[in-house]
Amino acid sequence: ALRCNQNHPTPVTMMVPQARRRRRGLVTSLFRIGPNVGQRCLRATNPLAVSLSIVSCWCAFRMLSTSSAPRPTVEPPLASAFASFRATARPTASHRASSISASSSSSALRRGFRSSAGTSATTATAAAAAASGNAPGTAGTTAVSPNSDSTVSSSAVSHDAYDVVKVDDVTEYGARATLFRHKKTGAEVLSVEKDDENKVFGIVFRTPPTDSTGIPHILEHSVLCGSRKYTVKEPFTELMKSSLNTFLNAFTYPDRTCYPVASQNLKDFYNLVNVYLDAVFFPRAVTDPQVMAQEGWHYELDKEDDPLTRKGVVFNEMKGVYSQPDNIMGKVEMEALFPDNTYGVDSGGDPQVIPSLTFEQFKSFHQANYHPSNARVYFYGDDPVKERLDLLDSYLSEFEENKVDTTVGWQPLLKEPRKISGKFPSNSEEGKYMASVNWVVHDSPLKSEDKLAISILSHLLMGTSASVLRKALTDSGLGEQVLGGGFDDTLQQTVFNVGLKGLKGDEDAEKVENLVIDILSKLKDEGFPEKAVAASINTIEFRLREFNTGGFPKGLMLMLGALEEWIYGGDPLNGMRFEKDLASLKQRLKDGEPVFQNIIKSMLIDNTHRVTVSMAPDTQLEAKDQEEERKELDGIKSSMSADDVKKIVEETKLLKEAQAAEDPPEAVATMPTLSLSDLDKKQRDIPIKVEDHKEGTKLVTHALSTSGIMYLDMALNLQALPMEDLPLIPLFERLLTEAGTQGKDAVALSQYIGTHTGGLGVSHFISQKANGAAVGDPSSVLGYLTLRAKCVSEKVDTMLDIAEEVLTTAKLDNRQRAIEILKETKAGLEAAIVGSGHRYAAGRLSSRFTVADHIGEKMGGLDYLATVKEMLEQAENDDTWPALQKRLEGIRSALLCTKGDKRMIINLTADQELLDSSRSQIDKFVDRMHGNSIGDASATKLHDWAEEAKMEAAENEGFPVPTQVNYVGFGGQLFKSGEEMSGSAQVISKFLSTGFLWDQVRVIGGAYGGFCGIDPVSGLFRFLSYRDPNLQGTVDNYKAAADFLANIELTQEELEKAVIGTIGDIDSPTSPDQKGFTSLTRWLVGREHADLQRRRDQILGTTVNDFKEFGKRLQQLNTEAKAVVIGSGQAFEEAKDINFNLKNVL
C-alpha cells in the first residue's frame, strides 16, 4: 500500500445509480486518468469501495475510461477497505480485491484494462503478448494465447437433471464451457472448466424495474439478511468475518441483479455458494417487513414529541448519490434518453420515490423475478463439474418452471433531437455549469464484431488525453473537465455520451453540442490517421490478450463478459471470445472499408435520437430540498392520529431492538464455517533479487511467469526535492506523458506509446518507513516518482527509449496543457470531496501525526485543492507562468541527477529467460540515464522532509459541503513510535468493522458504511463512515467501541472466525506485476518476509485478551482522539457536543 498521487484518485467504487453516467469506466476498469475518480460502478451490498490490494498498485494502475453508460454499483469487503482510505497506505499486506467496475459487464473481455498514467493497466497475470501480423494495430508484436498451457476435459459432463445445450472450447482463455438447461425449471447454467484454483460462482436475475422506488437495489441488500437455512440476521457479514473468499458481494444493474462469490478453497467456495443460493431463493426478507424497513426505508420516531424522520440504508445511500452533481446530471440524461423503457427509471432508487415502496410491492417483485426460470447461473474454475451441478440442483429442484416475462423492451429511437435542462446543489454558481451530448445509437441487436469496432472507436475518440474528440473538448477552453467516455454497451442499447463541466454559463451548452457534432462530422468525412487506428487497435488487443484482471478473479470477468449477451437471450460464449471478430475487423480495415466512419455516420451524425443536457448550479437548492423534506414529514406527522404516532414509536423501538439483538447460538450454528486447520500457516513469499548497479542504482528483479511480457517500474528518489515542490509532482507527472516531447507532439507520443507498448505512465508513492515489529518513527519517510510500463519481449528496447524520452525531453513548457490539467484536477477534486469525503477525512486526520501523511495531504488531500487553485492562477497569468515552469524544470533536473545510493531504482518483473535476455538493454538504459544532460549534477543532496514539514496539531475539523450525508472520521495515535503492535490488531479491526460498526453505524444508524482500521507502521487508528445521515451519533458509536471491546466475551468459535477472515484478506491471489511492485515497495520501506511471517503468526495466535487490551487502548484514545468530518452544514449545526473548527474547502 502506498501513498498515491491525487492525479490518480482513490479508486473508490461506491454505490452509484443507473443514471449516473458521468464517469464512464472502460469496460472492467476501475479508475480514470486524472481527476475523474472512477465511481461509475455497481450498486452493491458492501459499501467499502476499495481494498488494499487495489490501492497498493493504484498509483501505477489508473484505468482510463472510454465507455459511457449507466453503471451498477459494487463495493468490497470491510476489513480490507480501511487501508485503502489511507493517505499513505503501507506495502505490508496483500488484501483481497473485491471491488469491480460496473462497466465490466459490457465488453468485459473485448476492451481489457487501462493502466498507469495513461494507457493499459498492469494488475493481473499476463496471459499473452500483443498481436502479430501487419494489420493496423499489430505493431509487429508476437501473439501468445493466454493460458495456452491450461487443459480442460475433452468431453462434456452429463447430468440427469440437466440438458446439455452447447459445449465449446474458449481457446482465447484456455477454458471449456458447457451451457446446461435445468430440465425442471428451465434455469440456464454456464459451467466453465479452467485450471484456476480461484473458483467463481454467480447467479443473476433479470430485474427491470418499472419505477424509481429502488426495489431491485433494496432487494439486493435484503436477501442477504437471513434465509431459510441460514437464520442469522446477516449471513453476508458472517461470511465477511470468517471466510477465505476472494470476492464476496452483490450488485444491481439497471436491468439485472448479480450475486457473485469466489474462493480458492473448495470447502469455503461451496459454503459461499450454499449461502447465496439459499439467500436468493428463500430470504427472510419476504416474510419479515423489518428487513425492508432497515435496508430500504422506514419512518423513525423515538418519542412521540420528536420530529418524524426517514431512515434506511438504501434511502440514505441514494441521498448521498444524488448530492453529487454528476449523478444528478446522469439521472436527467437517462430519463431523457429512455423515456419509454426501464432505463428511464432508477433501479437504485430516487430518494423522493423510495418512500412510496410498500412491503407488498417488495415481496411481489421477489416472487416474480427471483425464480430459477428467470436465472442465469455461472460456475468457473477447477472444481468438479458434477459437484457443481449436484449442489445447484438441490435448490432448483424445489421449483417448477415459471414462464415469467422479464424481457427488457427496446427504446424506439426519437425522431428529432431534444434539449433538456436541470439544476444541482452548489456552494457557488461561478464556472460550475455542465453540458453533455448523448445518443442512444441503435434499437436492434448488434453483432459482436460491431461491438468490438465500437469499443475501438470509443478509444480513438476518447481513450486518452490525445484522442481526437477528448482533445478537442479540452482544447476548446469552454470548460474545466471532460465528461463521459464515448460509447458504452453495458446495457441492451448502447449509448454515447460526452460533455464538459466547469462551463461559465448555460449558453455554453450549445457551444459544446456544436463542437461535438463538428468534430464527429469531420471524422465522418475524413476518417482517422492510420497511426491513430494502429495505436488504438494495439492497445485494445494487448489488453484482450493479456487478460489483466487486477485483483479480481478472472472467472468473474468472464462471467460479466458472458452476461453481455446472455442476459438478453443471446449466446453467452459470444461475450467470452474476440479472435474471430478481431481478425475480421482487421481484414475489413486492410481492405479499405471505412468502418469507423460508417459507425460515426449511422450511429451519431445521422441519428436523431440525441439529447443535449445542460445543468446549472443552484446555491439554494440544498436548503430548499431539506426544507421541503422537513415540511413533508411534519405534514405527514400532523395528519397522523395519536394511535398512528404511537405505532411509529413502537415500530421504531422494535426495529432497533431487533437490530441490536445478538444472534442466538442456534442461529449462528447454521452458518457453514472453516477451521484453523484449513489455513496455511506460512506467509507466501515473492521472489526478489537486488543487485548493486552502476553509480548507486539498484536493479531489483522478480522472476515470475508473465507469458513473455516485461513489466518495468523505474523509481526516482523524490527526496531530491524540497518539500515545497512536492505539491507540483502530480502536475509534473501528467505533463511527462501528456504534453508531448521534443520529438513528438502530445498526439504522436500517445499513439507511439499505444502502438509499441501495453501502457506507460508516471505516478508516485510516499510512505513511512517500517521498524520491524515496532511502530515506526513518524518523521521517517521516503518517496519515489515511478514510471511504470509494460511490453512484449520484442519491444523492450522501444519501451526503454520511450521512458527515456518522456523523462528527459517532455515539454514542460506546454502551458496550455498545464492549464487544462489543472482545470481537470480542480474539477475532479471538488467532485471527489463531495462524493468520497471519507477518503479526504481519513487523510486529513492522519496528516497531523506522521510526515508521510502530512505530505500526502499536501499532494492529494484537502490542502492540495487550494494548491491546485493557486497553480491554476499562476499558469493562466502571463507574469507568473514562467516561475511555475521554472519550478517544473527544476524538479526534472533534480530527479534526473540519478547518481547516488537509491537515487534510481529499476524494478523488473518477467520470466527468468526474458530477464536474462534483456539485461544488456537494461544496462545500456541505465548508462544513458546516468549520462543524461538534463540532470543537475550539483543536486546531490537528499532533503530531510521531517525538518521541512510544518506539522499542525490535531483538532476537530469540519468541512461543510453541499450534500445530504456525512463522512465522519475519528481517531488518533493508538500505538506510539517504538511500541510493538501485534498482528492481532488487524483481527480486531476487522472484527469491529464487520460486527459492532456494521450494526451500530450502518444497520441501526442507517449509514451506507461504517468501518475502522489500524496502520501497523504508523500506529494510527481511524474510524470512518460513508454516506452517513448522522454525525454526533456516529462519533458516539465510535467511542462506544472501546467499552465494547474492553468487556467482550468471545467463544473460541467466534475468535477462530475472526482469525480466518483476516487470513483470507491477506492471502488473496495477486498477479505477477502486482507481486513485483508489492515486493519492491516492501523492500524500500523495510518490510521483510520475516516481519510478515511474524505478523501472520500473531494473527493466528490472537486471543480474547488481545481484544480486551485493545479496547483499553481505545478507551485511552477516546480522551485525545479528534474528529474530521466532511458533511452538510445542517449536521454541524446539530452536533453541539463537538467543538468543530469549520473550514470552507470548496
- Where in the sequence numbering do the catalytic residues fall? 220, 295
Q: Find, among 427, 433, 515, 526, the residue nearest to 474 by Cα.
A: 515
Q: In the numeric block, which cell numbers belong to residue 416?
A: 428529432
The β-bridge partners of 1123 are 970
User: Cα separations (Å) of 152 from 173, 178, 179, 761, 976?
Assistant: 11, 11, 15, 37, 54
CA atoms of 72 and 63, how far apart (whole Å): 18
> Would you call 973 helix, strand, or coil by DSSP?
strand
Q: Find, among 49, 80, 88, the residue nearest to 1013 by Cα.
A: 80
Q: Find, among 1130, 1124, 844, the residue nearest to 968 by Cα.
A: 1124
Order of strands, sheet of 481-488, starting from the edge strand that comes earlier in the sequence: 418-425, 610-618, 433-440, 495-503, 481-488
Q: Do the beta carbons of residue 46 and residue 108 sit within 8 Å?
A: no
The β-bridge partners of 252 are 43, 257
Q: From its phi and psi, is residue 661 left (phi > 0), alpha (psi between -120 and 50) or beta?
A: beta
Q: Do the beta carbons of residue 838 and residue 914 sit within 8 Å?
A: no
The β-bridge partners of 247 are 262
CA atoms of 567 and 73, how far apart (whole Å): 18
CA atoms of 421 and 335, how far apart (whole Å): 12
User: Cα separations (Å) of 541 from 30, 132, 141, 145, 174?
Assistant: 19, 10, 11, 12, 17
If one counts every other C-beta atom within 10 angstroms of the C-beta of residue 153, the result is 11
Q: Find, among 764, 781, 767, the residue nearest to 945 by Cα.
A: 781
Amino acid at 928: R
Q: Do the beta carbons of residue 78 and residue 46 sit within 8 Å?
A: yes
- Rg, Å, the chain Cα set: 27
Q: What are phi and psi of 140, to 5 degrees?
A: 70, 20
CA atoms of 62 and 835, how far apart (whole Å): 18
Q: Find, among 377, 1035, 1064, 375, the residue nearest to 676 by Cα.
A: 1064
Say which residues have a Cβ less than 8 Å from residue 1015's Cβ, sequence separation at least 6. 83, 86, 90, 846, 1021
CA atoms of 142 and 148, how far apart (whole Å): 14
Element (H, E) at 870: helix 862-876
CA atoms of 7 and 37, how far apart (whole Å): 9
Q: Do the beta carbons of residue 1022 and residue 846 sit within 8 Å?
A: yes
Amino acid at 784: Y
What is the maximal distance between C-alpha atoms in the chain?
86
Amino acid at 739: A
User: Cα separations (Å) of 521 from 442, 498, 524, 527, 605?
Assistant: 19, 15, 5, 10, 7
Q: From its phi and psi, is residue 247 left (phi > 0), alpha (psi between -120 and 50) or beta?
A: beta
Q: Do the beta carbons of residue 117 and residue 67 sit within 8 Å?
A: no
CA atoms of 863 and 87, how far apart (whole Å): 12
Amino acid at 455: S
**Helical residues (DSSP H) of 493-620, grouped into ranges:** 508-526, 530-546, 554-566, 579-590, 595-599
